[in-house]
Amino acid sequence: MTAIAFHASHEQIHPRALLEAVCHAEQVGFDAAMCSDHFAPWSERQGHSGFAWSWLGAALQATGLSFGVVNAPGQRYHPAIIAQAIGTLAAMYPGRFWAALGSGEAANEHVTGDAWPRKDVRNARLRECVEIIRALLAGEEVSHDGLVRVDRARLWTRPEQPPALVGAAVSVETARWCAEWADGLITVNAPTEHLRRMIDVYREAGGRGPVHLQVHLSWAGTQAEAEAIAYDQWRSNVFAPPVCWDLATPEHFDVVSAQVPMARLAEVVNISADLGRHTGWLQDYIELGFDQIALHHVGQDQRPFLDAFGTQVLPKLAHP
């Protein structure tokens, strides 16, 4: 059965309100949760970007849900520090935490003042970080000189069972590459055939573990309201790589998205006031074989979405 998770968007919502939302998500029947890890929002209209790792400790304590986070080690975060963060949460909340690792976006990483590397360099850096994190979680002392450097690092507090390190991918090529090293795969909603190909390629290349899907959606009482919410909050997120990787600030995203048509937004966000249509979309994703689907309502007021989906959508889906 497919677990249905709540996606907590730090870019859009104050962390206190986001904690209230994830607690409510558990109450209305969501099975799990995940969150973003950003230094800045995608648009100045979104207006937030709390520190995910502080929030995760509070959310794990406040609920009984399992949690995942998408993180980019190597520039803004040293991999030894990410290994320590992962190890501490997994030790405190056994079996309830996983981390998806990706190569990152300039919007978050440029704050260090270091140059933003080419994509091939970022991928190579990520592979180094993954191996460093795995070794530290296994109890090894690690020294490493490469695209990142580590000197005699050791984790003194570790979980009995290391949590899954999941690969984040939006392209078939990256899904195939993730199969070389990841304990699972996470991607975002796209046309059904593309998603099927992502899963097939990952599995054919030897990919192990669960496959996760993050679904961007907008729901409201009327179609006009659902469209207005999506357009205000998420039109800056329609750009394919490398544009979304390489823009540096929320202002940049706001400038380039000023004239985005609604039709383009509807390609990346499931927008409808019809709960039956949302149920159908989700059922299609479940039939593709995803192990967990995280629902991200792109509006800033989460409670109406949580109440509506908890009572009228989740009961119609095959989930725990």
Which residue type is seen at 256? V
Between the CA of residue 306 and those of 58, 69, 272, 309, what are the distances in Å?
20, 20, 15, 5
pLDDT for residue 247: 96
Q: In a structure prediction context, what are the per-residue pLDDT tens digits for the chain, which is 320 residues long?
A: 899 999 999 999 999 999 999 999 999 999 999 999 999 999 999 999 999 999 999 999 999 999 999 999 999 999 999 999 999 999 999 999 999 999 999 999 999 999 999 999 999 999 999 999 999 999 999 999 999 999 999 999 999 999 999 999 999 999 999 999 999 999 999 999 999 999 999 999 999 999 999 999 999 999 999 999 999 999 999 998 999 999 999 999 999 999 999 999 999 999 999 999 999 999 999 999 999 999 999 999 999 999 999 999 999 997 77
Calculate the alpha carbon distances from 64 to 10, 196, 303, 313 in Å.
20, 31, 19, 21
Amino acid in position 112:
T
In this structure, what are the phi and psi dihedrals at residue 221, rounded to the nearest 5 degrees? Answer: -65, -25
Residues pairing with 212 in the sheet: 186, 292
Given this model, what pLDDT does residue 155 score? 98
Helix residue spans in 205-242 (DSSP H): 223-234
Report pLDDT for 294. Answer: 98
The answer to whether the beta carbons of residues 294 and 6 sit under 8 Å apart is: yes
Position 318 scores a pLDDT of 78
Contact assessment for residue 142 and residue 116, using Cβ atoms and an 8 Å cutoff? no
79-92 vs 119-137: helix crossing angle, rounded to 10: 40
Would you tell me how many other CB atoms lie within 10 Å of the CB of residue 199?
18
